[in-house]
Amino acid sequence: MRIRPSTREHDSELQAHELRAELDELLRASRYAGQRERRLTEAVQASPNRQRPDGDLLRQLAQARTLREGLGARCLQLSDQLQALEHDLRQQPPEAPQFATPEPPPLRPDIGALAQRVTALHRSGAHPEVADLLAQAAARLTPPDTAHLAGILARRGPADASRQLARSTAHTTPEHAVAVLAELREAGLADEAAELFHAFWGYPANALPALLAALELAGQVADGATLLWEWGSAPTPELTALAAGLQQAGRHTDVRTLLRQAAGRPTADLAALATDLPAPLPAVLLRELAALRPPVELVRLAAALDGSRELYDQLLTALRADEARHRATLAALRAAGLPTAPATPGRSRWGRR
């Protein structure tokens, strides 16, 4: 014996059916209005006297445009109502069974109908409404449903709609966006997955720690490393903000990876970065530089840092931690007249070379 849905659920299902029917009718009307607007526009452009086109044609064109815009706005309003109603239906808890077989699965949104609405709005020229609808879908659909919609749009939808949907997903929570990325790859939607991943590059520094954590949790560690590689060439203020945020979030391995990627920057940039980083990050940066940069570049860096006793001493500490390896660098510092040992409190380091 099948459980009968509650009165509230039944009413909601009926309302959803009525909204879909009304929306389909309005989409057809919007498409016809858009076609009429295009025909009238062509007629105005083909008028023998284009400087003073027929006034009646202009009035008809204005009326067609107003009708198309009004229908598009109403379609978007109905689409919002339908999306919200479908979401509510998915969220309704199942009723406890009484002398019944297992309950039916929860209702899922009609992805095919949603793809048709996107296509119809696009054909009618309602491009802002298309963007809004795709943004709503990205925020409301589950990751599998988002990938399903992207697949339909990639095969039959308007050009770029599937990639636009993927880009819109980047504006949701990091966990949701990363889950969609995995679903897109699983579905073989490589272009859409690349579009979403490229959108991650636009995340501000304060959002990166959460995104990296979500990628790590999803097993997408390589993606996180790629993002850090891109950020290694960011302007010094943004790089400093990201390194500080990662440190505060306890992502110490990411901090080292980021600063290692930054090690190839010009000497002046590295000196500025070491100056701007909050403690203890300058020492981390200088250890990475001591391990990666050749002696001639380390001498230039030491000269740039010589005005800061603390930073210069941190570089020397990194070099002297493995004097055998850095013998050539220490010799080059000595030849350049720069200190080769950290300063002792109360004593000028210029007396120790």
Each of the 353 residues of the chain gets a pLDDT tens digit; together they read 444 445 666 566 667 667 766 766 666 676 667 777 777 777 777 776 655 666 777 777 787 778 777 777 776 676 667 667 666 765 655 544 444 444 644 446 788 888 888 988 888 888 888 899 999 999 999 999 999 999 999 998 888 999 999 999 999 999 999 999 999 999 999 999 999 999 999 899 999 999 999 999 998 888 998 999 889 888 889 999 999 999 999 999 999 989 988 888 888 889 999 999 998 999 999 998 888 888 889 999 999 888 888 999 999 988 888 877 888 888 988 988 888 877 765 444 544 44
pLDDT at residue number 6: 53
| pLDDT at residue 196, rounded to an integer | 95
Q: What is the pLDDT of residues 64-121, one digit of tens each?
A: 778 777 777 776 676 667 667 666 765 655 544 444 444 644 446 788 888 888 988 8
Q: According to the model, what pLDDT value does residue 99 have? A: 42
What is the SS3 string spanning the chain? Answer: CCCCCCHHHHHHHHHHHHHHHHHHHHHHHHHHHHHHHHHHHHHHHCCCCCCCCCHHHHHHHHHHHHHHHHHHHHHHHHHHHHHHHHHHHHHCCCCCCCCCCCCCCCCCCCHHHHHHHHHHHHHCCCHHHHHHHHHHHHHHCCHHHHHHHHHHHHHHCCCCHHHHHHHHHCCCCHHHHHHHHHHHHHCCCHHHHHHHHHHHCCCCHHHHHHHHHHHHHCCCHHHHHHHHHHHCCCCHHHHHHHHHHHHHCCCHHHHHHHHHHHHHCCHHHHHHHHHHCCCCHHHHHHHHHHHHCCHHHHHHHHHHHCCCHHHHHHHHHHHHCCCCCCHHHHHHHHHCCCCCCCCCCCCCHHHCC
Q: How much is the pLDDT for 86?
A: 63
Would you state the pLDDT for residue 107?
Answer: 47
What pLDDT shows up at residue 138? 93
Give the pLDDT score at 50. 56
- In this predicted model, what pLDDT tens digit does every residue of 119-139 receive, in sequence order? 888 888 888 888 999 999 999
